[in-house]
Copies of this chain bind each other. A is one copy, B any other.
C-alpha cells in the first residue's frame, strides 16, 4: 500500500479548500494508513482555566481522519464523517500543541474506518481517543 498524497500535498490541499480550518492544523507525517496532525493551539480553542475544549479536540480527531484518508485516496474534498465516538480521558496541558495520531483500520470503496489518539506534544499520556467512519463519495 502506498500513499496518494504526502504531507506537503495535504497541507496545500487543505489550505486551498478549507483556509479557515487549515490555519489551525498542520499535517506532520503521512505513512500508509497513518497520519499525524498537529493542532496549533490558540485562544479560540481554550476554556476557562486554559484547557482545550472538547469540540476543539473533536475537530482535531475529525481532521486527522480526513488527512489519513486523503493521504490514501487522494484529494476527494467531499468525503464526510458519518459516525464518530470519542472518549475524553485527561485534561490537555495549557500552552502546548496537540497531536492527533490517526490510523485507518479499513479502507473500503464507500466507507473508511479508523482511530485517532490525541496527545500533548512530547507526552505519552493519551488525552482522548476517537473512532470515526467516513463515507467516500462514488467516483464520477
Copy tally for this chain in the complex stands at: 4
Tell me, yes or no, whether A41 is within 8 Å of chain B by CB: no
How many chain A residues sit at the interface, stated as a range, is 35 or more
Q: Are B84 and A86 in contact (CB under 8 A)?
A: yes
A44–B59 Cα distance when bound, in Å, is 13
Q: Are A80 and B88 in contact (CB under 8 A)?
A: yes
Q: Are A115 and B129 in contact (CB under 8 A)?
A: yes
A135–B84 Cα distance when bound, in Å, is 16
Q: Are A131 and B131 in contact (CB under 8 A)?
A: yes
A92–chain B nearest beta-carbon distance, Å: 12
Whether A131 touches B133, Cβ cut-off 8 Å, given contacts A83-B87, A84-B86, A110-B110, is no
